Structure 1
Amino acid sequence: MSHSTCLSLKDSNSFPIPGLAADILHMRVKEGSKIRNLLRFATARMQEEGEERKGALLRQVIFTGSGRGVTKTITCVEILKRKVGGLHQVSKLYYKTASDVWESPQTGASSVSMQRTIPSICILLSKDPLDPQEPGYQPPETPGVTNEDAKRQRVLLGSIK
């Protein structure tokens, strides 16, 4: 039997994050993608401060990955946030539908089809502020202060009052 997989989305250019610009930089991360190549390209584009690209500055980038590419997607985002700094983030988890079809080499035999869901992630990084009420929002990290340290500081300051 031969096997083929077909991924389908309602719209291949749709993202689970509302209000994105039409010309946003989309970084598709796959299992075999090289992190250094993805980051070299995305970092260069995000650090083009003052340089115009088709009349607009690149202010946002979106990373997407599915299946085994999800962890690599997260790694790319975390490294880029440290390299560029001051980036707002919105992360969304969702599922893609994949159709697996097995076709018999015998003529006249029917094919077998199966639908499965593949976990996927979509992460928006923006130089501009994003809606903090949007589920999955993370503010920019303060240099030298981790999120855990910031939480501890807020708890300590709250107990002093």
Structure 2
Amino acid sequence: MEHYEKKGVRRNVAKAEDNEIRISGHARVRVLVSRALGKLQSDGHRSVVLKGEGHSCTKTISVAEIVKRRLPSLHQNTRILYSDVEEVWSPKDATMELDELEVVRKLPSIHIALSMDPLDSSADGYQAPKQKKKKSPSKAKKSKPTTPKKDTFSTRSTVAPT
């Protein structure tokens, strides 16, 4: 591939829906979290879909977990899929008589749907909201009385001055 250079990338990308957030590697997590919370709380949406591809899959999961921690009543449905990315490579030197190459790669993607309404619980990737644990009255821990330890290394000299 040292004799080729990448000319372009072709993807089939549909237009984003109103409740969809596409996560890129350059976006900041706190900005994405506030955008998702804003859609769920103030924009009147009952659900939001977080989508990430390639290296941004881990960031997508992080955003979903933070949003679920702030709104614990959310249902989650996760889908992992692969999308085709077509790369076009052309020769660097026209005198070498090389053909233009088209390479199709499989790019991992993740789609996480967070909803205030119950989702299909039989679907693979479904997670129910966490149940709130009832707090039991905390018992004060009884601590053991500490005994002073003997100082094994003394700084005083035991030799009497002469």
**Fold conserved (TM > 0.5)?**
yes
Q: Deviations over 1:70-122 (max 9, x none)?
A: 00000000000011220001000000111121112434742122111011100
Structure 1 residues 147-158: aligned runs within 5 Å: none
Q: Which runs of 5+ in 2 are unaligned?
A: 135-162
TM-score of the superposed pair, with normalisation by structure 1: 0.71
Look up the SS of the partner of 1:94 in the other structure.
Answer: strand
Corresponding residue number in structure 2 for 1:141: 130
For residue 142 of structure 1, report the CA deviation from its aligned partner. 1.6
- Which has the larger helix fraction? 1
What is the CA–CA distance in structure 2 between the aligned matches of 1:6 and 1:135, rounded to whole Å? 32
Structure 1 residues 5-154: aligned runs within 5 Å: 5-9=8-12, 12-13=14-15, 24-48=18-42, 53=43, 57-107=44-94, 109-144=98-133
Residue 127 of structure 2 aligns with an amino acid whose one-letter code is: Q
Corresponding residue number in structure 2 for 1:19: none
Look up the SS of the partner of 1:114 in the other structure.
Answer: strand
Distance 1:5 1:136, change over 3 A: farther
Q: Deviations over 1:9-62 (max 9, x none)?
A: 4x6259xxxxxxxx55111011111111111111122122xxxx5xxx310000
Look up the SS of the partner of 1:79 in the other structure.
Answer: helix
What is the CA–CA distance in structure 2 between the aligned matches of 1:64 and 1:105, rounded to whole Å? 35
Sequence identity percentage: 29
Look up the SS of the partner of 2:51 in the other structure.
Answer: strand
Distance 1:138 1:95, change over 3 A: same
What is the CA–CA distance in structure 1 between the aligned matches of 2:89 and 2:41, rounded to whole Å? 47
Aligned residues: 129
Look up the SS of the partner of 2:80 in the other structure.
Answer: strand
Q: Which runs of 5+ in 1 are unaligned?
A: 15-22, 146-161
Contact preservation (8 Å) 2:83, 2:108: yes
CA RMSD of aligned residues (A): 2.1
